[in-house]
Amino acid sequence: MSMSRNRITTLIVGAGHPLAELMSELESQFSPPELPLLGVIDLDPEAKAAAGQNPGSDRISVLGHTLEDLSGDVAPELVVLAGCDEATRTALGRRLPDSLQLEHRSAPLLAIVTRLADENRALRADSRRLKEARLRLRQFVETAPLSIYIKDTDLRYRHLNQHALLLFGFDEESVVGKTDHTLFPSGNVRWLQNVEQETLRSGQTHYATGILPVRERETHVHVTLFPIVENQKIEGLYGLVEDTTDLFVSEQKLQQVDGQLDETQKYLREVLENSKDMIFLTDPQGRILTFNSGAENALGYPRDEVVGRPAHELCSTPGAFDKLFEEAILDGHATRYEAEFLDRNGDSIICNISLTKIDDHQGMPLEVVCLCRDITTRLRLKNDLIRSERLAAVGQMASGVAHEINNPLAVIDTIAGLVEETLAADAPQLAPETRDILMKSMNRLHYQVKRCTSITHSLLGFVRNTKTGMVKVDLEALLDECLNVLGIEIRRSRAEIVRMFSTELPTFISDPMLLQQVFVNLIKNALDAIAEVPDRAGVIEITTSGNGDHLTVTIQDNGVGIAKQEQEKVFDLFHTTKPAGRGTGLGLSIVHDILYRLGGSVRLVSEEGQWSRFVIELPMKPPETPLPDPTSMTF
């Protein structure tokens, strides 16, 4: 067999060559292992002569091989003819099989042999390298951390490497020659079979992914299939099997994590969406990206209308928002306690605003989260409280002063009356002009004392710690009573009173005496406002409405109205816009104070020169714990 790995060269030597000499020469030059490579056929003169007629003749002298050998099992790969004339070559050519390659060389015999020996040596080295390569390849196939199998065209296993055997859990003997069908009778391997058949049919590389029911567990595999082609014929296929079970499990885990992530995202989205606070996202340029329903409700804009617009358009002072936004971009976060937004109707909404920048993974600003809490109501309540406290402090001082002034006023008024009476009784002794001017003076003195009195008595009204008599109140009846009280003033002003009372208002619990003071003050105020626009027919509109929670009364007049900058101050103590001697600056302060104590509130909306509207809200029940009574202290 070792011979078959080398090229067998047969040298046919023509007549007249000294063979014995050659042999000894060869033995001296070549080591014995190299010699058998060379078969030498010597054609002696007779044989050479008879070669054409009798090839099997014994006269052909043979060294190593006979001529017949050349067509036998050990047929050489190359036959070199040395020193043969053309007739001999032709004759030999006829006798030797066509498959033999005949080569004629005409160099000296020794040179030819030496040359052939060299060629053989080179060939042997190649063969060794090839052998090593095959060994290495085999080693690789056997030890690679990859399962490799070979199947024949009937899809029977012909070979499996160690890894594959380990994967399948079989030894080689029990696998080779079997199909998957017999190996895995319980499992479904149809998916592999189909692709294998396709590979055999098409001669193309194919891939398949599926589950092999090996070693009693489901093993996820990815198989690469490519055909074995020999002599342009598909003889079978290679299968490279990757165990992807771990990958599959990780993927499943990943999917699970993804799912959890989705859940979290959904949850966060819901929190964002359902929050009553206004939440919106902007890009780093301040353009709105999303807008939650809290923002939709508070501002009255549908989402579609604001997305893409600059967020500062929603603010009353865009510049202030921009400044805050810049701060957030620079520092990552920015807050402001009171920022004013404008809703769709242009009404102001005071918000506590907080901006937070979110960076992308490269540290570049990605978006800004804007969180805004509507504190309009809270702020109003706070202002109410501040105002009430201020009223309390000023009121207490004022009532103290009023008390001190009341005594001297009483003296002045009494003396004025005495002078008046004396004048009337003793008139004849005075010149009529003197008497008239003195009478008139006393009259004015009375008037001025009354003016002072109206102030001091109003001031004392603050301190009147009325034991609030909480009873059921019928709002409509109460308002009508107030209109009755003011009957003379209303008729004098010729104002038209429009009553728009809700028909089905429930009775509520409050203090009717205090409420009467509130409504009388407000209607008086409306009459005064109307009086300042004499050429317009005065109208006072009184409406009532209610929901289950509170009642609302509005009192609107078409009088002089109040300038925007004055509106804030109307409830302040001693603040009046009425002409000197007409208003004390106390009425609305008292209204505010009383409503605050009853757990209600009053607001003013007005258009200068056009109209004013007071909106009074009253709770269905007074507050459980009485609000701090700012005027409970007495002097």
Contact call for residue 467 and other proteins (CB under 8 A): yes
**439 contacts other proteins (rule: CB under 8 A):** no
C-alpha count within 13 angstroms, C-beta hemisphere, residue 428: 0
Q: What angle separates helix 432-463 from helix 587-597, to the nearest 10 degrees?
A: 20
417 is an interface residue for other proteins by CB under 8 A: yes
Structure tokens at 123: 């060939």
Instruction: From 133-141, 234-242, 261-269, 464-472, give the range in contact with other proteins by CB under 8 A.
Output: 464-472
CB of 635 to other proteins, least distance (A): 7
Phi, then psi, of 81 in degrees rounded to 5:
-100, 125
Contact between 301 and 293 under an 8 Å Cβ cutoff? The reply is: no
Tell me the site size for other proteins, rule CB under 8 A: 32
Query: Which tokens is 393 given?
Result: 């402090």
CB of 604 to other proteins, least distance (A): 27
Continuous H helices in 332-431: 376-425
Beta carbon nearer to other proteins, 458 or 554: 458
Query: What's the Cα-to-Cα distance from 586 to each of 181, 493, 555, 572, 617, rounded to whole Å?
Result: 104, 22, 18, 8, 20
Q: Bridge-partner residues for 229, per DSSP?
A: 234
CA–centroid distance for 258 within its chain: 14
Q: Tell how far CA 485 is from the center of its chain.
A: 65
**Range in contact with other proteins (rule: CB under 8 A) among 21-29, 177-185, 420-428, 560-568:** 420-428
Q: Give yes or no for residue 457 binding other proteins (CB under 8 A).
A: yes
* Segment holding 439, helix H or strand E: helix 432-463
From 153, 290, 335, 406, residue interacting with other proteins (rule: CB under 8 A): 406
CB 463, min distance to other proteins, A: 5
State the binding string over 359-398 for other proteins (x if CB under 8 A, else -): ----------------------------------------
Judged by CB under 8 A, the stretch of 81-89, 375-383, 412-420, 429-437 that binds other proteins is 412-420
Identified binder of other proteins from the candidate list 413, 481, 541, 608, rule CB under 8 A = 413
Q: How far apart are CA 240 and CA 333, in angstroms?
A: 57
Q: Of 190-198, 219-227, 445-453, 470-478, which segment contacts other proteins by CB under 8 A?
A: 445-453
Q: Which CB sits closer to other proteins, 106 or 465?
A: 465
Q: Please, which residue, 359 or 421, has the CB nearer to other proteins?
A: 421
Regarding 418 and contact with other proteins (CB under 8 A), the answer is yes
> What is the smallest separation between the CB atom of 427 and other proteins, expressed in angstroms?
11
CA angle 182, 188, 194 (to 5 degrees): 90
Among the listed residues 55, 294, 461, 559, the single contact to other proteins using CB under 8 A: 461
Q: Does 403 bind other proteins (CB under 8 A)?
A: yes
Residue among 250 and 632 whose Cβ is closer to other proteins? 632
Q: Is 449 in the site for other proteins (CB under 8 A)?
A: yes
**Side chain identity at 440, as an amino acid letter?**
K
Contact call for residues 237 and 191 (beta carbons, < 8 A): no
Q: Is 337 exposed, middle or buried (0-12, 13-18, 19+ CB in 10 A)?
A: exposed
Sign of CA pseudo-dihedral 93, 97, 98, 99: negative
Site stretch for other proteins (CB under 8 A), options 83-91, 172-180, 458-466, 551-559: 458-466
By CB under 8 A, name the one of 66, 193, 245, 453 that touches other proteins. Answer: 453
Nearest CA-CA partner of 406 in 454, 444, 443: 454
Contact pattern from residue 294 through residue 333 relative to other proteins, giving x for each residue in contact according to CB under 8 A and a dash for the rest = ----------------------------------------
CB of 622 to other proteins, least distance (A): 19
CA atoms of 182 and 252, how far apart (whole Å): 31
Q: Closer to other proteins by CB, 182 or 422: give it.
A: 422
CA distance 177 to 498: 108
- Nearest to other proteins of 376, 468 (CB atom): 468
**Which lies closer to other proteins via its Cβ, residue 131 or residue 450?**
450
Instruction: Using the structure block, give the residue that is written with the tokens 């189909």.
Output: 194
Contact 287, 299 (CB under 8 A): no
Report d(CA 133, CA 611) in Å as an integer.
107
Smallest distance from the beta carbon of 412 to other proteins, in angstroms?
8
User: Cα(247)–Cα(526) distance, rounded to whole angstroms?
Assistant: 83
Out of 466, 472, 496, 545, the only residue in the binding site for other proteins (CB under 8 A) is 466
465 binds other proteins (CB under 8 A): yes
Q: Does 435 bind other proteins (CB under 8 A)?
A: no
Stretch that binds other proteins, among 249-257, 314-322, 399-407, 509-517 (CB under 8 A): 399-407
Q: 295-312: b or e for each residue (b if 16 or more CB lie within 10 Å)? A: bbebbebeeeebeeebbb
- Residue 414 sits in the site that holds other proteins (CB under 8 A): yes
> Does residue 468 touch other proteins according to CB under 8 A?
no
Q: Does 488 bind other proteins (CB under 8 A)?
A: no
Does position 424 interact with other proteins (CB under 8 A)? The reply is yes
Q: Is 502 in the site for other proteins (CB under 8 A)?
A: no
Nearest distance from C-beta of residue 530 to other proteins, angstroms = 29
Q: Is the CB of 218 or the CB of 420 nearer to other proteins?
A: 420
Residue 495 vs 591, nearer CB to other proteins: 591
Contact between 399 and 463 (Cβ < 8 Å): yes
- Binding of other proteins by 411 (CB under 8 A): yes
Those residues with Cβ within 8 angstroms of residue 223's Cβ, 6 or more apart along the chain or in another chain: 192, 195, 207, 208, 209, 210, 239, 240, 241, 242
Helix (H/G/I), strand (E/B), else coil: 428: helix
The angle at the Cα of 527, spanning 491 to 392, to the nearest 5 degrees, equals 135
Taking the least distance from each CB to other proteins, the nearer of 120 and 399 is 399
Applying CB under 8 A, the residues found at the interface with other proteins are 399, 402-404, 406-407, 409-415, 417-418, 420-421, 424-425, 449, 452-453, 457, 460-461, 463-467, 634-635
